[in-house]
Amino acid sequence: MKKVFFVLAAAVVLFACNQQPEAPEVLMAKFGAEFNPEGAISIEEVAKILAEKDSVELTFRANIVQTCAKMGCWMDVKMPDGSDMTVFMRDHAFFVPVSGMEGKPAIINGYAYRTEHSVEFLRHLAEDAGKSEEEIMAITEPQAALAFNAAGVIIEGIAQPEESAEGHDHHDHDHEGEGEHSH
């Protein structure tokens, strides 16, 4: 009987030693349209492509700088030259979290384009970001910019939030040129 017990105990130990540890689950929250994140290009590649084109449809990876503090209807990502590119959630069909996303890696699918933001629009974005009245009023010149109309976003490192039933009343954007790029 001791022999059978020893053989069973040895089998259990060998089985346990041969098991690969499970890889930790990577949290990923998805917003908007489903898309395949495989083959996403770097933000550096986006900058190179947009140096030669005015607009392009693509999927890229970048770190989030900030999100719209009111509704999550836009977010900024850092470009290689240190500037920010604003990513708008296409047609306000979905929203990303309004806080805690700073520095989080994201995979973003949609349409990149060159645009010029008016003073009024830049002030609206500053207000959304929670800037002070002084900072908002200091915006006095339109700004040439790169922008992105996102069909879908995946944010790494966060759990999928519960769907929000909040509407988007009284907070609408007229993204200069966004409607033109609703591919």
Helices (H) and strands (E) in the chain, counts: 4, 7
What does pTM read for this prediction? 0.73
- Which segments of the chain does DSSP mark as H helices, in order? 2-18, 43-52, 119-128, 133-137
pLDDT (average), residues 89-106: 95
The confidence score (pLDDT) of residue 20 equals 56
State how far the Cα of 83 lies from the Cα of 66, in Å rounded to an integer.
Answer: 13
Ranking 37-46, 68-77, 125-134 by mean pLDDT, the lowest is 125-134
What's the chain's average pLDDT?
82
pLDDT band at 168 (very low <50, low <70, confident <90, very high): very low
Angle 51-95-73 from CA coordinates, rounded to 5°: 55
pLDDT in tens, 30-43: 999 999 999 999 99
Residue 25 above 90 pLDDT? Answer: no
Helix (H) or strand (E) holding 154: strand 143-156
Domains, the chain, in order of start with CATH, read 26-160+173-181 (2.40.50)
pLDDT (average), residues 115-131: 89
State how far the Cα of 167 lies from the Cα of 169, in Å rounded to an integer.
Answer: 6
pLDDT (average), residues 90-97: 94
State how far the Cα of 121 lies from the Cα of 132, in Å rounded to an integer.
Answer: 16
